[in-house]
Amino acid sequence: MDKKTVTTISYLSRLKIDNDKEEKIINDLGNIIEFVDQLNEVDTTEITPLTNPLEKTAKTRKDIVTAKNLKKELLEVAPSANEDYFLVPRVVE
Amino acid sequence: MISHKEISNKEVIQEVFSLINEYKDLNAFITLNEENSIKKAEELDNNPSDLPLAGIPIAQKDLFCTEGLRTTCGSNILNNFIPPYSATVIENLENAGCISVGKTNMDEFAMGSSNETSFFGNVKNPWGKDLVPGGSSGGAASAVAAGLVPAATGTDTGGSIRQPASLCGITGIKPTYGRVSRWGMIAFASSLDQAGPMARTAEDCAFLLNEMCSHDEKDTTSLDNDIPDFEENLNSSLKEKKIGIVKDLDLSSLNNDVVETYQNSLKEFESMGAQLIDISLPNISLSVPTYYVVAPAECSSNLSRFDGVKFGMRSEDAKDLEELYVKTRSEGFGDEVKRRILIGSYVLSAGYYDAYYKKAQQVRRLIKNDFDNAFKTIDVIMTPTTRGPAFKIGSKGDDPIQMYLEDLFTISANLAGLPAMSLPNGNIENKPIGLQIIGNFLDESTILNFAHMFQNETNWHMYTPEGIKQ
Amino acid sequence: MSWETVIGLEIHVQLSTKSKLFSGGSTEFGAESNTHVDLIDMGLPGVLPVANKEAFYKAIRFGLATGANINQTSSFDRKNYFYPDLPKGYQITQMTQPIVEKGSIKIAVDDYEKEINITRAHLEEDAGKSIHDMFEGETGVDLNRAGTPLLEIVSEPEISSAKEAVAYFKAIRQLVTFLDICDGNMAQGSMRCDVNVSIKKSDDKELGTRAELKNINSFKFIEKAINFEIDRQIRLIENGECVVQETRLYDSEKNETRSMRSKEEANDYRYFPCPDLLPVIISDKELKEIKENLPELPEEKEIRYINEIGLDESEAKIISSSKTMANMFEAASSKTDDAKLVAKWLVGDISALLNKDNIDIDESNLSAENFGILIERISDGTISGKIAKSVLEEVWETASDVDEIIQSKGLVQIQDESILEDIAKKVIESNPNQVSAYKAGKDKLFGFFVGQIMKETQGKANPKAVNEILKDLLQ
């Protein structure tokens, strides 16, 4: 775990790390990764990953429209919106 | 559950709020729901109902969305968030007659074991104002232990119901993954999160669990299996029942009182006719590292929706979109949450996925297989819930790994999706401590049965902190 | 030296389900902004996705029609990135277990046919729309489209020219419309495509570095964008520079592609299995049902038209190539017993009118019903083909009923021989010179007499009858 890696993952996570905290964070993350590295001692060849404790298959929906028009409610909870759209600073393509 | 035929529902609710007010330095609540609660109580007084939990005051963890009532998840980023809908758990409990008196304090996004990561300040443990209540459901545990409410909801991703229950001297159960709908529960780690009740006794937990469980088509991980009446088996005999004792757990690192307390409880069960059987869970020691790959990976993705665009807080004066994202998330999230998002992004990123995420999910299967084998020969597994009683606020410093090891005994049940609970089984230097009972898949009834029988024979669950009126 | 072009297409097809892939939100196009946004589409804290089974069924139809493998167990993964119209900060897609794998489709280019292999077709959710040019200094976000089911169809890099790319896109469009899984409406963005282009020397083994052209949604632009990109890459390499792997945006006004490096910056999507969604299983029974109810495809129609209805190959090809054309043909044929006549008119006059107005037949005023009646009236001799033309033109303009037009304009053909004979006699009497000339052997004057009679009857005379009568009278 080094400065460069932390810069990359904080960019991916859209998080800014204050300079005064940077050293500690690099250090913490390093320790945590070192701590989880003990997993590599286990032989897991041929073992299928378990991504959910329920080894079942999903229930699915019928193709029916159930949603109501929530425009007003949803735009209300938005930090910035006009009467029609959620608003963000201009994105240049 | 406390019965109060002689006094009106309104009086009960008013009493609850005066207690909450009296003990507000516990900081157990983030948001109160006083007006509505009193209105509901009055309605109940005017037209009495025979609903199973009619008029029962309940404290809801601030991780459940409550329509029209602020829901913060203990985070600055949701400081002003008022959901347009309610979680299934909330609806189930309110439809059963419960009155939601408020939203309890918690570690930010349920990431923590001491309640010190809450944006709204740490919760105090009624057993000592300098002690942590545990976490992440610390506000809930503190409120029940202090007798402010008879019941509370919690959520448990790695021990967040059981560990605070243990540290506050109350009873709490994490059901089988999929028993309780996750619709409206703000996700931390989707494949581990499960909601459950926290109360004084196993019996109360059974009452609450009966109402919390449901088949929910809004959650595809909600199980279709029959939901039993969890009260039915509470008093079944424990004769010939088999308790698994995990050889692989090294208790030598724990202080003697914890070990002694644990062993006394086992003797208690033996005296009720249960048998102790050594079992092996060879991979259990890998639970914590497995968890600290899987949970951060899932949370790093689950928390991406908090970007300041559609809901929640948005940083002021961001001059472009990129800055809007970064400032909002950096100001909105606390250090522990950031730490876990970063770890999650790391273990999922190109080149590390196989070495960490995939590896951890493979080990997770090994851990589950261990449990499956063990439960072929036993009914329940018992361990201490925590390595010790409540520790002092700030005493774990800011060494994340020390804090992570708090969940040593509890995490494996989440990885395997098994039901598990904690109940008070002793007192060390006037601080409560808990016993963990892990059950087989869908077998909440059996662990509640063990817990209830224990509480018939002992009174650890009746101990209350000094200066707390009951 | 000669360059070879290597092209692969990723076509995003909006599946025509009523509701979204993971919510009960409506997929209707063109609704008022943010009115079709469910709590789930909004990505609110605590919401959970539930998959729409119909989207799987539609995807499977495509798989079966392209002879692909159907993965009866398929699962969902998360693709993580931040963008304002991506509400959850990740897109739910199928990375590891796509519903469809390894199919192929035949394309026809000018004088040759070619088989293009399809690597995979997977389900994923569409994003919302960002509106950049509407507000001063701000971008507006409309989430109506967020969560609409997409089938992303990924071809092998086996396409070797812009023309082939267009032919491939057209073949896919024809297929999905016949399968009734997508309306194929390019203008509304029901089909969009990303194009991967690279070039290599003919004798090179491995592929060159590719550039990805994003979001092109018209046949014209696919061709132009690719050709521009090929030239650009050749120029680069021949100037000793090299092609960078990047995403490029096609600017249809300037007809050029330009780099979108902004999007490239350290992109790492961190795919992982979506923990909210368990794998979806398609039972053998479901699969069997879909197979049995698979709609008839163009080639099958063509063959049936030729063998069972007896159309010429050329007619059969034209009619079966477009869903709307085929629908019209089948509907109209059911209203008359002269299907071949229906075909003649479709590929003849009607196609001409369609080309003139540059519209699709289902956008025209001609209903199958009305068209059927028109054919009926021709075959039962009520009107002549010549009259029918003018009736068709009137219907084309006014959409009014064929029989009404015939009645109101009194276009009914004159069959009555006695009437025609009188007219014929009049014509003969009033043209003695022509008669003697004809009798002297000027056979082509016969047409003159027919013409005169038609003139007298405003074209309503039954030509067959006129011929016979004239023959008698002029002996």
Buried b (16+ CB within 10 A) or exposed e, C262-277: ebeeeebbbbbbbbbb
Q: Are C468 and C393 part of one and the same domain?
A: no
Most distant CA atoms of chain A, gap in Å? 58
Please name every residue paired with C10 in a beta bridge, in sequence order, or none if there are none. C154, C194
The active-site residue out of B75, B100, B114, B136 is B136
Distance (Å, rounded) from C-alpha C445 to C-alpha C456?
17
Q: Are C131 and C208 part of one and the same domain?
A: yes
Contact B134, B167 (CB under 8 A): yes
Looking at residue B1, its pLDDT comes to 54
Q: Are C395 and C422 part of one and the same domain?
A: no
Q: Which of B459, B455, B16, B445 is nearest to B234 (CA)?
A: B445
The answer on pLDDT for B2 being more than 70 is: no
Question: Beta strand C3-14 with C256-259: parallel, antiparallel or unpaired?
Answer: unpaired
Task: Identify whether B252 is preceded by a cis peptide bond (ω within 30 of 0).
Answer: no
What is the CATH classification number for the domain harbouring C438?
1.10.10.410
For the whole model, what pTM was predicted?
A: 0.90
Domain count, chain C: 3
Q: Is B79 on the interface with C (CB under 8 A)?
A: no
Q: Which of B115, B433, B90 is nearest to B257 (CA)?
A: B433
Distance (Å, rounded) from C-alpha C117 to C-alpha C258?
29
Q: Are C463 and C399 part of one and the same domain?
A: no
Q: Is C24 on the interface with A (CB under 8 A)?
A: yes
Q: Are C58 and C182 part of one and the same domain?
A: yes
Which single residue is written with the structure tokens 């037949």? C361
Q: Are C248 and C326 part of one and the same domain?
A: no
Q: Are C310 and C451 part of one and the same domain?
A: no
Task: Give the rounded distance of the alpha carbon of C141 from its chain centre.
Answer: 30
Q: Name the DSSP class of C185.
A: -
How much is the ipTM here? 0.96
Active site residue B136: yes
Q: Are C335 and C264 part of one and the same domain?
A: no
Mean predicted confidence (pLDDT) in A34-59: 93
Domain, as residue range, for C92: 3-286
The active-site residue out of B37, B142, B160, B181 is B160
Distance (Å, rounded) from C-alpha B453 to C-alpha B237?
8
Looking at residue C34, its pLDDT comes to 97
Q: How many CA atoms lie less than 13 Å away from C311 in the CB half-sphere?
A: 29
Q: Are C168 and C70 part of one and the same domain?
A: yes
Please name every residue paired with A30 in a beta bridge, in sequence order, or none if there are none. none
Contact B167, B422 (CB under 8 A): no
Phi and psi dihedrals of B351, rounded to 5? 95, -20
Helix locations, B66-148, DSSP H? 88-95, 138-145
What's the burial of B51, exposed, middle or buried (CB within 10 Å: 0-12/13-18/19+)? middle
Helix A19-36 vs helix B287-302: crossing angle, to nearest 10 = 130
Helix locations, B303-334, DSSP H? 321-332
Looking at residue B284, its pLDDT comes to 94
For C30-185, strand residue ranges (E) read 69-70, 73-74, 77-80, 90-93, 100-109, 112-125, 129-135, 138-142, 149-155
Q: Residue C194 corresponds to which amino acid?
A: D
Structural tokens at position A47: 């073992």
Pick out chain C residues at pLDDT < 50.
none
Whether C44 and B83 lie within 8 Å, measured CB to CB? yes
Tell me which chain C residue has its CA closest to the CA of residue A8: C266
Distance (Å, rounded) from C-alpha B242 to C-alpha B233?
16
Measuring CA to CA, how many Å separate C232 from each of B435, C3, C205?
A: 71, 13, 22
Distance (Å, rounded) from C-alpha B249 to C-alpha C374?
89
Establish if C291 belongs to a structural domain.
no
Lowest-confidence region among A81-85, B88-92, C264-268, C435-439: C264-268
Active site residue B338: no
Looking at residue B403, its pLDDT comes to 83
Structural tokens at position C433: 């010179």
Establish if C75 belongs to a structural domain.
yes
Measuring CA to CA, how many Å separate B86 from each of B67, B185, B223, B304?
A: 5, 9, 20, 21
Which single residue is written with the structure tokens 């969305």? B65
Looking at residue B212, its pLDDT comes to 98
Report helix, strand or coil for C40.
coil
Looking at residue C262, its pLDDT comes to 52
Structural tokens at position C424: 């014929």
Looking at residue C215, its pLDDT comes to 77
CB within 8 A of A88, min separation 6: which ones?
Answer: A80, B309, B321, B324, C84, C138, C139, C141
Distance (Å, rounded) from C-alpha A8 to C-alpha A17?
11
Whether C276 and B220 lie within 8 Å, measured CB to CB? yes
What's the burial of A5, exposed, middle or buried (CB within 10 Å: 0-12/13-18/19+)? middle
Predicted confidence (pLDDT) per residue in B367-420, tens digit: 999 999 999 999 999 999 999 999 999 998 778 888 888 888 999 999 999 999
Residues in chain C with CB shorter than 8 Å from the CB of A61 are: 19, 24, 50-53
Distance from the first to the final alpha carbon of chain A: 34
Contact C285, A61 (CB under 8 A): no
Establish if C330 belongs to a structural domain.
yes
Looking at residue C85, its pLDDT comes to 94
Residues in chain A with CB shorter than 8 Å from the CB of B326 are: 14-16
Asked whether the CA dihedral B114, B117, B120, B121 is positive or negative, the reply is: positive
Chain C positions contacting chain B at CB under 8 Å are 39, 42-51, 78, 80, 82, 84, 87-90, 139, 141, 268, 270-272, 275-278
**What is chain A's mean pLDDT, rounded?**
93
What's the burial of B469, exposed, middle or buried (CB within 10 Å: 0-12/13-18/19+)? exposed
Contact B131, B142 (CB under 8 A): no
- What DSSP element (H or E) covers B345? helix B335-348
Buried b (16+ CB within 10 A) or exposed e, B422-436: bbbbbbbeebbbbbb
Q: Are C397 and C464 part of one and the same domain?
A: no
Structural tokens at position B330: 């950096």
CB within 8 A of A5, min separation 6: which ones?
Answer: B346
Q: Which of B157, B410, B287 is nearest to A38 (CA)?
A: B287
Distance from the first to the final alpha carbon of chain C: 77
Confidence band for A56, pLDDT divided at 50, 70 and 90: confident
Distance (Å, rounded) from C-alpha C175 to C-alpha C136?
43
Looking at residue C1, its pLDDT comes to 61
Q: Residue B451 corresponds to which amino acid?
A: A
Looking at residue B182, its pLDDT comes to 98
Distance (Å, rounded) from C-alpha A43 to C-alpha C15?
44
Distance (Å, rounded) from C-alpha B169 to C-alpha B464?
8
Distance (Å, rounded) from C-alpha B92 to C-alpha A66?
21
Measuring CA to CA, how many Å separate B439 from each of B264, B373, C1, C147?
A: 20, 13, 74, 39
Fold that domain B9-237+439-462 belongs to in CATH? Amidase signature (AS) enzymes (3.90.1300)
Residues in chain A with CB shorter than 8 Å from the CB of C34 are: 71, 74-75, 84-86
Report helix, strand or coil for B209.
helix
**Angle made by CA atoms B263, B268, B274, in degrees to the nearest 5:** 100
Distance (Å, rounded) from C-alpha C447 to C-alpha B374?
103
Whether C268 and A12 lie within 8 Å, measured CB to CB? yes
Predicted confidence (pLDDT) per residue in B395-409, tens digit: 987 788 888 888 889
Distance (Å, rounded) from C-alpha C421 to C-alpha B333?
100
Residues in chain A with CB shorter than 8 Å from the CB of B360 are: 36, 39
Contact A65, A57 (CB under 8 A): no
Predicted confidence (pLDDT) per residue in B420-462, tens digit: 999 999 999 999 999 999 999 999 999 999 999 999 999 999 9
For A58, the closest of C26, C36, C51 (CB atoms) is C51
H helices then E strands: how many in chain A? Answer: 3, 1
State what percent of residues in chain B have pLDDT above 90: 91
Looking at residue B272, its pLDDT comes to 97
Predicted confidence (pLDDT) per residue in B50-59, tens digit: 999 999 999 9
Measuring CA to CA, how many Å separate B408 from each of B291, B364, B385?
A: 10, 15, 9
Q: Are C168 and C276 part of one and the same domain?
A: yes
Q: Which of C62, C58, C89, C94 is nearest to C75 (CA)?
A: C94
Active site residue B315: no
Contact C35, C142 (CB under 8 A): no
Distance (Å, rounded) from C-alpha C139 to C-alpha C134?
7
Contact B253, B420 (CB under 8 A): no
CA distance B163 to chain A (A): 21
Whether A63 and C17 lie within 8 Å, measured CB to CB? yes
Contact C125, C92 (CB under 8 A): yes
The active-site residue out of B40, B61, B174, B431 is B61
Query: How is chain B split into domains, by residue range?
Result: 9-237+439-462
Task: Give the rounded distance of the alpha carbon of C409 from its chain centre.
Answer: 37
Last residue of a domain, one of C238, C261, C286: C286
Q: Residue C15 corresponds to which amino acid?
A: L
Structural tokens at position A55: 């080894």
Distance from the first to the final alpha carbon of chain B: 14
Q: Are C71 and C150 part of one and the same domain?
A: yes
Distance (Å, rounded) from C-alpha C142 to C-alpha B353?
34
Looking at residue C372, its pLDDT comes to 87
